[in-house]
Amino acid sequence: MECHGEQRYTYEDCKRTADWLLAKTKHRPRVAIICGSGLGGLADLLKDQVAFEYTKIPNFPKSTVVGHAGRLVFGNLSGTPSVVMQGRFHMYEGYPLWKVTFPVRIFHLLGVETLIVTNAAGGLNPEYNVGDIMVIRDHINMPGFSGQNPLVGPNEERFGVRFPAMSDAYNQDLRKLAHSVAAEMDCSGCLREGVYCALGGPNYETIAECQFLQRLGADAVGMSTVPEVIVARHCGMRVFGFSLITNKAILDYETKEKANHAEVLEASRQSARTLEKLVSLLVQRIERNNNLA
């Protein structure tokens, strides 16, 4: 398959990568988790770990961003067979979106049913504070408005239909479950629910852009997540997403404050434990509900 002059991976290429991983580990994950900047500690919670460097996995891209370890870790999270990406890929690293989302198709071929995505995001909603956790209710795909979409090119029917619906991109039952788990953890006060807006990056947003995104209805803004969600839904997976609010959007022309990646990583570090526990308990509850079904 060709896209913009570049050779895309075929279904057979994806299957070769999945088969390589299946041959290297006995784990058969039902849940996949993609970790955002500074949130790779989720992988440390896995029991009976088997880890692979991205550079060792056939066809896998290489993560180049600080705060993204670049490892695929298999194991059991809260008793559930899981696989965790310690670091994702981004369009701003120079990768085409079909390559950014390549791991999601591998997860599908591994048998994953539920994808959990996490990211570090800037808070656009004035009620959000640094350290808040936002359950993603919906997204705005700004690159998609200009044709930047991971599904551009010939459609592979063995993954999904040509025109997948996105009105239910983020599973409502899992969102409700997350609020229930947060109440049990006594951290409902820092849990929000809102709309995530994806931009191309790598620069942070201008003040005018932040004001524009607020008017569009975005509560948080970042540079990732949406491409993976689109491909996961195309493959028929159910999706749940968290944004960790690591900085507040700059909206005042008189301020001397500036967003920077070091502060994002520090805010992620400080709130990561809460998010890790929330995800761990959520996975446990998903498994329990599946067993009751």
Segments making up each domain of the chain, as ranges = 24-292
- If one counts every other C-beta atom within 10 angstroms of the C-beta of residue 94, the result is 10
- Give the architecture (CATH level 2) of 24-292: 3-Layer(aba) Sandwich (3.40)
The tokens 């509900």 sit on which residue?
Answer: 289
- The sign of the CA dihedral 210, 214, 217, 222 is positive
State how far the Cα of 248 lies from the Cα of 263, in Å rounded to an integer. 11
Q: What is the pLDDT at residue 4? A: 44
Q: What is the pLDDT at residue 252? A: 83
Return the C-alpha torsion angle 291, 17, 156, 175, nearest 10: 30
pLDDT in tens, 35-46: 987 778 889 999
Q: What are the backbone dihedrals phi and psi of residue 179, each rounded to the nearest 5 degrees, phi first? A: -65, -40
Helix or strand run (H / E) with residue 75: strand 71-77
Q: What is the pLDDT at residue 6? A: 61
Q: What is the pLDDT at residue 3? A: 42
Q: What is the pLDDT at residue 291? A: 57
Catalytic residues: 37, 68, 90, 92-93, 120, 223-224, 247, 261
State how far the Cα of 236 lies from the Cα of 114, in Å rounded to an integer. 9
Pair of tokens at residue 191: 């849990």
Pair of tokens at residue 221: 């803004």
Q: What is the pLDDT at residue 209? A: 96
**Which residues, 6+ apart, have CB-to-CB distance to 74 below 8 Å?**
21, 25, 27, 29, 46, 49, 50, 51, 81, 82, 83
State how far the Cα of 212 lies from the Cα of 129, in Å rounded to an integer. 20
Q: What are the backbone dihedrals phi and psi of residue 111, each rounded to the nearest 5 degrees, phi first? A: 105, 10
State how far the Cα of 261 lies from the Cα of 85, in Å rounded to an integer. 20
**Nearest Cα to Cα of residue 179 among 166, 168, 189, 167:** 189
Residues of the chain with pLDDT under 70: 1-6, 65-68, 264, 267-268, 291-293
CA 84 to chain centre: 11
Q: What is the pLDDT at residue 266? A: 74
Q: The pTM is what?
A: 0.93
State how far the Cα of 219 lies from the Cα of 164, in Å rounded to an integer. 25
Pair of tokens at residue 269: 């570090």
How far lies 174's CA from each of 29, 31, 162, 271, in Å? 18, 13, 26, 21
Q: What is the pLDDT at residue 292? A: 43
Parallel, antiparallel, or unpaired: how do β-strands 133-141 and 191-198 relate? parallel
Parallel, antiparallel, or unpaired: how do β-strands 47-53 and 71-77 relate? antiparallel
DSSP-assigned letter for residue 159? T
